[in-house]
């Protein structure tokens, strides 16, 4: 089953203006995650303008039909963060419920979890 990584492409970390970047921190993180996930058939990526977690940018969501979903934030837009996010998403894809044992989490996602959402019910 496919796990989606949704990346906020409008996130800007607090020092964004001082750094004078041409792109947002979210765009930079999105490009890194997209490149990292490209070879993994169980993962898909998409960009979303604003996940409404502005105080803890950069934000991403990990989701799959019928599984627990997670929102993570406060990442630095670098290769290490992208690798950890994609590594966790791959474990999410392998899990029947979406729950990944803490001992299996990549170090780079620890401390970045914001919310966990139960799967939507299949029936109305």
Number of alpha helices (DSSP H) and beta strands (DSSP E) in the chain: 3, 5
What's the pLDDT score for residue 54?
81
Based on the structure, what is the number of domains in the chain?
1
* Residue 75 within a domain: yes
Share of the chain above pLDDT 90, in %: 78
What's the pLDDT score for residue 16?
74
Domain that holds residue 10: 3-117
pLDDT category of residue 117 using cuts at 50, 70 and 90: very high
Residue 11 scores a pLDDT above 90: no
Element (H or E) spanning 29, and its range? helix 25-37
Element (H or E) spanning 84, and its range? helix 79-94
- State the burial class of residue 44 (Cβ atoms within 10 Å of its Cβ: 0-12, 13-18, 19+): middle
* Residue 86 within a domain: yes
pLDDT in tens, 54-75: 888 899 999 999 999 999 999 9
Say which CATH number the domain at 25 has.
Answer: 3.40.30
* Residue 123 within a domain: no
Cα 74–77–80 angle (5° rounding)? 95
Q: Give CA–CA dist 87/9, Å, rounded.
A: 20
> If you average pLDDT over every residue of the chain, what do you get?
93
What's the pLDDT score for residue 94?
97
Which two structure tokens, joined as six digits, stand for 44?
């898909």
Q: What is the pTM of this model?
A: 0.94
């Amino acid at each position: 089953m496919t796990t989606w990584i949704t990346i906020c492409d409008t996130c800007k970390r607090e020092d964004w203006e001082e750094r004078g970047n041409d792109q947002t921190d979210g765009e930079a993180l999105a490009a890194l995650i997209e490149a990292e996930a490209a070879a993994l058939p169980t993962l898909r990526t998409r960009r979303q303008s604003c996940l409404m977690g502005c105080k803890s940018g950069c934000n991403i969501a990990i989701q799959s039909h019928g599984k627990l979903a997670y929102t993570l934030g406060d990442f630095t837009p670098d290769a290490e963060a992208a690798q950890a996010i994609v590594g966790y998403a791959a474990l999410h894809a392998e899990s029947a419920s979406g729950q990944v044992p803490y001992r299996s989490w990549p170090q780079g996602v620890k401390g970045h979890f914001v919310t966990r959402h139960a799967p939507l019910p299949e029936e109305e």
